[in-house]
Amino acid sequence: MYENILFDLDGTIINSQKGVSDSLRFAFAQNGVSFDGDYTIFIGPPFKVSFPKFLGSDEALTKKLISSYREHYAKIGVKECTLYRGIRDLLVTLKRDGKKIGLATTKPRLFAEEITKRKRIFGLFDIVSGTETSGAPSQKDEVVRIVMDKLQAAPDRTVLVGDTIYDCIGATVCGIDCIGVSYGFGGVADLVREGAKLIADSPKTLKNLLK
């Protein structure tokens, strides 16, 4: 039985598609980048990985894009998200059952804290962790390890819940299980391929799996 439940944020706790997409459009326009594809491909991996991969940006342009994105997101995008239906009930139930709950996201920690406070769920987490303005930590496994260390979480009693392959990969590197959610931005086949032990199609299903 899992005693420590770690959650990804975007695509798992919140639907952040509008805020992220609008902020990306702003960043691309401000830096002369043309992109007419699906903006959800940028939700999950760190931008310093996804921008070079999907845009072919060099290090200098990547830094400018990240800076422009954060400028817009801090003012507007951070407000443009919604909790997935059933998430609050899930967190309350886990808390009531004595579970330790951590948030492990590669989104900047300050944004993660603001969002969870705005949605009135910040107090349900034992720890909220993300990346810092310095750029470290930057990988999912690094953030997960920070949360595990602070919770003193044993790997065999810990699970990470997330919606993309980056969550599965991060969990594997840290030696913990991963439960994939199909209501976010990743695909079921990809989650299974990368090692997700179980798949939940809704927060309600996730609640049943965790109990």
pLDDT at 46: 86
Confidence of residue 73 (pLDDT cuts 50, 70, 90): very high
**Residue 104 vs residues 7, 59, 68, 127: alpha-carbon distances, Å:** 6, 26, 24, 9
Q: Which domains does the chain carry?
A: 4-15+82-210 (3.40.50.1000), 17-79 (1.10.150.240)
Residue 128: partners with Cβ closer than 8 Å, 6 or more residues away: 102, 103, 109, 112, 113, 116, 122
Known catalytic residues are 8
Per residue, the 3-state secondary structure of the chain, as one string, reads CCCEEEECCECCCEECHHHHHHHHHHHHHHCCCCCCCCHHHHCCCCHHHHHHHHHCCCHHHHHHHHHHHHHHHHHCHHHCCEECCCHHHHHHHHHHCCCEEEEEEEEEHHHHHHHHHHCCCHHHCCEEEEECCCCCCCCHHHHHHHHHHHHCCCHHHEEEEECCHHHHHHHHHCCCEEEEECCCCCCHHHHHHCCCCEEECCHHHHHHHHC
**Residue 118 vs residues 80, 121, 173, 204: alpha-carbon distances, Å:** 11, 8, 32, 22
pLDDT tens, position by position, 4-58: 999 999 999 999 999 999 999 999 999 999 999 999 999 988 898 999 999 999 9
Confidence of residue 76 (pLDDT cuts 50, 70, 90): very high
Inform me whether the pLDDT recorded for 211 exceeds 90.
no
pLDDT tens, position by position, 125-179: 999 999 987 767 879 999 999 999 999 999 999 999 999 999 999 999 999 999 9
Alpha-carbon Rg for the chain, nearest whole angstrom, is: 16
C-alpha 201/C-alpha 116 separation (Å) is 22
pLDDT at 146: 97
pLDDT tens, position by position, 84-105: 999 999 999 999 999 999 999 9
